[in-house]
Amino acid sequence: MTVCVNCGIELDDGIRACPLCGEYQGKNGEQEHIPESYPSDIIQLHKKENRRHIWELTGIITFSGIIVCTIVNLLISKGLGWSLFSDVSIIAAWIILTILLFINKKPLVTANLVMLTILTALFFIDQIPGGSNWFFPVGFPITITVFIAAGTIIILNRVAHFKGLNIFAAALFILSGFCIITEMILDEYLHGIMFLRWSLITAVSILPVALIFIFYHYRLKKRNRLDSFFHI
């Protein structure tokens, strides 16, 4: 009988790998460790392969679309025009997909890279001939506001001890604030003066719904049903 020199158990004849520690008894007596493949490792490997296959397929589709748009634009207009917008948008979408596929376990890094990609795409679109220099006064602040609003909702969802309709209410409050900030930015860019109109109407319309969500959320938390509260 062979004895495993690593853990000391006896191995039956013909068994060269220790079932306890995984050490392999070589022909010359040396010990070699054979790594075991667990189902979780196999599943993880399949996920990585699937992500790589998706990335390769979308890459082929992306660059095929860019080539098609560019050739059609050249044939019709004898120059580059609208295809520049589509090419930048397609490349940005593919980069965002790449980030989501390979850096999805780091939310903060993922969000920053996605935001940087969108800002870069908007900047290049604004540089296309015929643009009106809207990136810095409009595109940049609105994009930053969108990511701040989304990040705030995600943080509230993570820190909340009791998740329910309160998250929806907070999202509605943040949405109303986003509408007001967006109109302020657009008014300053288009008219040089801030005069709130549609954003206030939107905020006033959203506010009662958010208050109802908050009320219903805390009534559920206290285990009081609305029908019994209103004696229905």
Q: Determine how many CB atoms are found less than 10 A away from the CB of residue 53.
A: 10
- 18 with 57, same domain: the answer is no
DSSP string, 156-221: HHHH-SS-SHHHHHHHHHHHHHHHHHHHHHHHHHHTSS----HHHHHHHHHHHHHHHHHHHHHHHH
Per-residue pLDDT for 217 more than 50? yes
Give the pLDDT confidence of 28-74 residue by residue, as tens digits.
544 444 444 444 444 555 677 788 888 999 999 999 999 999 999 99
d(CA 26, CA 41): 26
Domain range for 166: 132-232
- 103 with 183, same domain: the answer is no
- 210 with 139, same domain: the answer is yes
User: Mean pLDDT, to the nearest integer, of 100-114?
Assistant: 86
- 95 with 113, same domain: the answer is yes
Single out the residue in 98, 114, 129 at which a domain terminates. 129
Interhelix angle 165-190/140-159, rounded to 10 degrees, is 170
Lowest mean pLDDT among 61-65, 88-92, 199-203, 221-225: 221-225
Question: pLDDT at position 118, please?
Answer: 96
Question: pLDDT at position 34, please?
Answer: 44
d(CA 35, CA 83): 52
Threshold 0.85, pTM exceeds: no
User: Mean pLDDT, to the nearest integer, of 184-189?
Assistant: 93
Nearest to 153 by CA among 172, 180, 179: 172
Q: Is residue 6 part of a domain?
A: yes
- 113 with 149, same domain: the answer is no
How many distinct structural domains can be found in the chain? 3
Q: Is residue 98 part of a domain?
A: yes
Average pLDDT, the chain: 82
Give the pLDDT confidence of 157-185 residue by residue, as tens digits.
888 877 788 889 999 999 999 999 999 99
Question: pLDDT at position 105, please?
Answer: 75
- 212 with 166, same domain: the answer is yes
